[in-house]
Amino acid sequence: MISKLSISLISALACSYAFANPPGKAEDVAYAIENPLRPGAKAPYCETQTEAFDGCTFHSVAGDAYRAKLMVKQGETWVASTSDAATIKFQDAAATEVVDGKTYQVIKVEPSPAKNADVTVTFDKLTGGAGALKVIERRRINVMIHPA
């Protein structure tokens, strides 16, 4: 008898809670919570920045290509890499750009439009001679690919 009473009591409480808090109420929906599966969703857009900085995002739609500008000084160079080489290709620009007296190396980022993906690109700034190169700075950006 006690077990039937316990089950009835639990059922009554559950039903009361369900009617008191119906799903889908506007105040229950938290739209502003950052989505950990899409780390670049709310990051600043790289294209609008003077220089691609750590944490910015390129939003790629329908096979767009982007130019990541990275400041360099004499004897420095940037290299790009990603763990998903089938999804992102790079073209290193041989020439540099000078804007407001600062020199930028430009690396073209070409995402594949074939699939929806989030890819992290790592830029390493190197200095030194052949056989003695060392990384002096590292930046990571996000590329969010939205196929056509």
Q: pTM above 0.75? A: no
For residue 66, list its beta bridge partners.
109
* Coil, helix or strand at residue 119: strand
CATH code for the structural domain at 46-146: 2.60.40.2020
- Whether 18 has a pLDDT exceeding 80, the answer reads no
- Alpha-carbon distance of 59 to 42, in angstroms, equals 11
pLDDT digits (tens, 9 = 90+) for 40-73: 677 788 887 889 999 898 888 877 888 899 999 9
Show me where the domains of the chain are located: 46-146
Strand, coil or helix: what is 79? strand
